[in-house]
Structure 1
Amino acid sequence: MIPVQGVQNQTIAVLGLGRSGRATAEALAAGGANVIVWDDGADTRGAAEAQGLHLADLTQEKSWEGVSALITSPGIPHLYPRPHPAIAMALKLGVPVDNDIGLFFRSFATRDWDSFDTMPRVVAITGSNGKSTTTALIHHILQQSGRPTQMGGNIGTGVLSLEPAQDAEVVVLELSSYQTDLARALTPDVAVFTNLSPDHLDRHGGPGGYFAAKRRLFAEGGPDRAIIGVDEVEGQYLANQLSQGPTDDRVIRISSGQKLESSGWTVFARKGFLAEWRKGRQVASIDLRGITGLPGAHNHQNACAAYAATRALGLAPREIEAAFHSFSGLPHRSQTVAEINGIRWVNDSKATNVDAAAKALQAFDRIRWIAGGLGKDGGIAALAPDLGKVVKAYLIGHSARDFALELGQTPYEIAETMEQAVAHAHAEAQAGETVLLAPAAASFDQYPNFEKRGEHFTALVEALKT
């Protein structure tokens, strides 16, 4: 745990008692604060009270006497579409609102660092897609290189549940727009922007607000190095804003699909090869095509981001390349779970929408595609350009028949259940083909979440080995 600094004897309110909220309350108490808490859920409040936490209804003005700050969990709206009543009360009373990310950045450095030979560093990753894989890949590369490292934020461990830093440690944080939007302190040493596509627009008041929330990581924090994906105009704009000129290598531009020619520092992937260029000449190249844990152009962009971040930390290209080959990928994200009789089985249960499913379909050849679930508005018609490599589709769940109507000439069957889809794909697949779970739909018709759906697929595939 990282005790929060600068809160001794202050009364601090915590709104939301999920994973991050409970950890925040604990870290504040460890820093000497008097903590009061609130959650909209009666069961959650009961559990908090049983743990000895002091409840106070923060939607009522009488609860705010003497409160110095409100720390809110990331899922709670603070501005759009409208502030939560407790946050509205804080705004009315002039009480500062922050989140656990802000507390982390102001509390991470301690006097213990005076005895360190090498200062700890923080790498923070944001963007619309690829954040989790990029974060996990950077963490993996550091582990493989023997560097002390921790990973947290929006993935794995909450930031205040991390351990205090060791000498030369690198903390790798995935940060969502919900987290960057509100944090009052954002001071990473290296910051990464992967890409931008429309998401959470109601929460941010539109695409401009969404981009502004991501941009705060760079504008507020002033990282020593900024790694910026420039495949969208927002990334090009951000890189331009941060750079003092074409040769300013504090900004590393990255891309998947285009060659980046400049006199600065760039990392890009084209036709399966990653290239690093500095001062107008190539200094390193990596063949990504045979790396099982990073299939497809979207993962090649993740590889570029992780490569650039770890190069900025001083790692050598061959050290990074070796770690790429041992990276198994994140569960449920283009994860190869088995190769059986020359057939590759891939779990991309996280592909819950058309955009994510398209990236998965583009990553493989000769695909037997398991799709379906609780379909979203618009169906899968937008996937028509990506169906050319699909040998056959096996449709499951609530939207199976709706999806079938949008497949055109692509062969398919209504499999209904995951068990039937896996069994039929196993019986029909040929060596060299890939059986891909990329549902293009939510899981809630048959599973509580996409993780359980992916775990079920993986268990069924594992059973095929016996």
Structure 2
Amino acid sequence: MIPVQGFQGKIVAVLGLGRSGRAAAVALAAGGAQPVVWDDSAVARDAAHDAGLDLRDLTKPGAFAGVACLIVSPGIPHLYPAPNPVIAAAWDADVPVDNDIGLFFRSFATADWDSFDIQPRVIAVTGSNGKSTTAALIHHILVENGRPAQLAGNIGRGVLDIEPAHDGEVVVLELSSYQTDLARSMTPDVAVFTNLSPDHLDRHAGLGGYFAAKRRLFAEGGPDRAVIGVDEAEGRYIANQLIEGAGDDRVIRVSSGQKLAGQGWSVFARKGFLSEHRKGRQVGSIDLRSIGGLPGAHNHQNACAAYAACRTLGLGPKGIEAAMQSYPGLPHRSQLVGKKDGVTFVNDSKATNVESAAQALQAFPTIRWICGGLQKEGGLGGLLPHLGSVVKAYVIGREAADFARQLSGAEAEVCGTMDVAVARAAADAQPGEVVLLAPAAASFDQYDSFEARGDDFIRQAKVALG
């Protein structure tokens, strides 16, 4: 646990008692604060009471009397589509609002660091797609190269639930827009931006607000090094905002599919080969084609970002390459489930939007595609240019018929449920084809989470695999 600093003897309110809220309350108490907690759910309140936490109904008038700060869980809207009433009450009472990410950055460094030979470091990863894989891959590379490391944030453990840093340790954080949007302090040593595509638009009042939330990681305090995916205009904008001129190697540009030129520091992948360039010449390269845990151009972008982040810490190309070879991949993200009679089953349930599904469709040459679910804003038009590898789509979800109608140019069968879709795809599949779950939609019409949807696919695939 990271005891929270700066609130000793003060009352701090915590709104939302999920993983991050509970951890924040415990960490505040460990640092000498007096946390008072609230959640709209009676079940969550009862669990907090049983754990010894002090409940306070933050919805009542006067609830913020004597409160020094309000800590908000990431799932609670603080501005759009409308401010949560408790947050609005905190504003009216002039009570600062923060989240567990802000608490982490103000509390991570301690006086113990004065005795360390190597100062601990924080690498923070954000972006629309690939941030989980990039963060997990960085962590894997560090561990495989003998560097102590912890993985936390939107993946792994909550940021305040990790252990205090050891000499030379690296903490790798995956941060969502919900987390970066509200944190009052963000000072990573290395910040990574993977890419940007439309997502969570209602929460951020459009694409501009969504991008602004991501950009805060690079504007609040400023990292010593920045690894920036420049395949979209937003990434190029961030990179330009950070540099002092040509050749500024504090910024490492990353791309998948285009060669990056210039005198600066860049890492890019083309046709399955990663290349690192500095001052106009190549200084490192990796053949990514044989790395089973990183299939497809989108994962090659993740590999470039992870490679660049690890290079900023002094790791050599050969050590990074060896670690990548043993990277197993993450569940529900281009996850190899099994093979039978030349047919491969791949679970990419995390492909919950059009852009991530389009990337998955470009990773394999011949696909039996299982898709569908709760459609996101904007429709499926962005997928249509990427259906060339799809032999047939097998559509699930409550909106399956409408989803199938939008897939113009591709054969589509309305299956409704996962068991039907997997059985039909497996029966139709020929040697050399991939049965791919890449839904391009949220899961909540049929499942509690994308993980539950992916687990169902795995169960049905194992039936097909025998």
Instruction: Give 1:464 deviation, angstroms.
Output: 4.2
Query: 1:323-342 CA deviation, whole Å, 9 max, x = no partner?
Result: 21211221111111112232
Residue 356 of structure 1, CA deviation = 2.1
- How far apart in 2 are the matches of 1:422 and 1:76? 36
**Residue 127 of structure 1 aligns to which amino acid in structure 2?**
G
Distance 1:77 1:371, change over 3 A: closer
* 2:308 is the alignment partner of 1:283: no
Distance 1:224 1:379, change over 3 A: closer
What SS does the aligned partner of 1:258 have? coil
Structure 1 residues 81 and 425: alpha-carbon distance in aligned structure 2, compared to 1, 3 A threshold? closer
Contact preservation (8 Å) 2:199, 2:353: no
Structure 2 partner of 1:84: 84
Alignment of 1:18-417 (within 5 A): 18-376=18-376, 379-417=379-417
Summarize the Cα distance change of 1:160–1:232 in structure 2 as closer, same or farther, 3 Å threshold: same
Deviations 1:151-200 (A, max 9, x none): 01111210000011111110000111221122121111111011122222
Residue 261 of structure 1 aligns with an amino acid whose one-letter code is A
Deviates more, 1:403-412 or 1:433-442: 403-412
Secondary structure at the residue paired with 1:188?
coil
Alpha-carbon distance in structure 2 between the residues aligned to 1:373 and 1:177 = 23
1:349 aligned counterpart, secondary structure: coil
The answer as to whether partners of 1:231 and 1:255 remain within 8 angstroms in 2 is yes
- Residue 251 of structure 1 contacts residue 265 of structure 1 at CA under 8 Å; is this kept in 2? yes
TM-score with structure 2 setting the length: 0.95
SS in 2 for 1:5: coil
Query: What is the number of residues matched between the two proteins?
Result: 466
| In structure 2, C-alpha distance between the alignment counterparts of 1:336 and 1:289, rounded to whole Å | 15
User: Given that residues 14 and 72 in structure 2 are in contact (C-alpha distance below 8 angstroms), is that contact kept between their aligned partners in structure 1?
Assistant: yes
Are the structure 2 counterparts of residues 98 and 247 from structure 1 closer, same or farther at C-alpha, using a change threshold of 3 Å?
A: same
- Asked if the contact 1:370/1:439 (under 8 Å) is kept, the reply is yes
- With 134-143 and 46-55 compared, the bigger mean Cα shift is at 46-55
Shift of 1:381: 4.7
Contact 1:38/1:55 (<8 A) preserved: yes
Within the alignment, does 1:456 sit opposite 2:456 as a pair? yes
1:365/1:278 Cα in 2 relative to 1: closer, same or farther (>3 Å)?
A: same
CA distance in 1 between partners of 2:53 and 2:26 (Å)? 9
- Structure 2 CA distance for aligned equivalents of residues 376 and 14 of structure 1: 31
> Residues 70 and 408 from structure 1, CA distance in 2 versus in 1: closer, same or farther, beyond 3 angstroms?
closer
With the length of structure 1 as denominator, give the TM-score of the two structures. Answer: 0.95
For residue 160 of structure 2, give the secondary structure of its aligned residue in structure 1.
helix
TM-superposed deviation, 1:274: 1.0
1:57–1:368 distance in 2 versus 1, CA, 3 Å? same
Deviation at 1:312, TM superposition (A): 0.6
Q: Give the deviation of 1:266 after TM superposition.
A: 0.4
Q: Which amino acid aligns with 2:90?
A: A
Give the residue type in structure 2 aligned to 1:194. T
Q: Greater shift after overlay, 11-20 or 399-408?
A: 399-408
Moved more, 22-31 or 341-350: 341-350
**Contact 1:334 1:347 survives alignment (8 Å):** yes
Unaligned residue ranges in structure 1 (runs of 5+) = none
* 1:331 alignment partner AA: P
Contact 1:379 1:402 in 2 (8 A): no
Q: Partners of 2:402 and 2:63 in 1: how far apart?
A: 51
Q: CA deviation at 1:213?
A: 1.9
CA offset digits 1:251-307 (Å, max 9, x no partner): 111111111101010011112211100000011111212222112221111111101
Report the secondary structure of 2:181's partner residue. helix
* Cα 1:343/1:115, change in 2 over 3 Å: same
Residue type matched to 1:280 in 2?
A: G
Q: Which residue of 1 aligns with 2:431?
A: 431
Check the 8 A contact 1:332/1:348 in 2, yes or no.
yes
Supply the distance in 2 between the matched residues of 1:444 and 1:116 (Cα, whole angstroms). Answer: 47
* Aligned equivalents of 1:184, 1:403: Cα separation in 2: 41
Return the letter of the residue paired with 2:331.
Answer: P
CA contact (8 A) 1:125 1:134 kept: yes
8 Å CA contact 1:125–1:173 kept in 2: the answer is yes
The Cα of 1:101 is off from its aligned counterpart by 0.7
Q: Aligned pair in 2 of structure 1 residues 235, 441: CA closer, same or farther (>3 Å)? A: closer
Out of 289-298 and 392-401, give the one that drifted further: 392-401
Moved more, 19-28 or 412-421: 412-421
Which segment drifts farther, 71-80 or 5-14?
71-80
Distance 1:176 1:435, change over 3 A: same
Identity %: 70
2:7 and 2:359 map into 1 onto residues whose CA distance is: 46
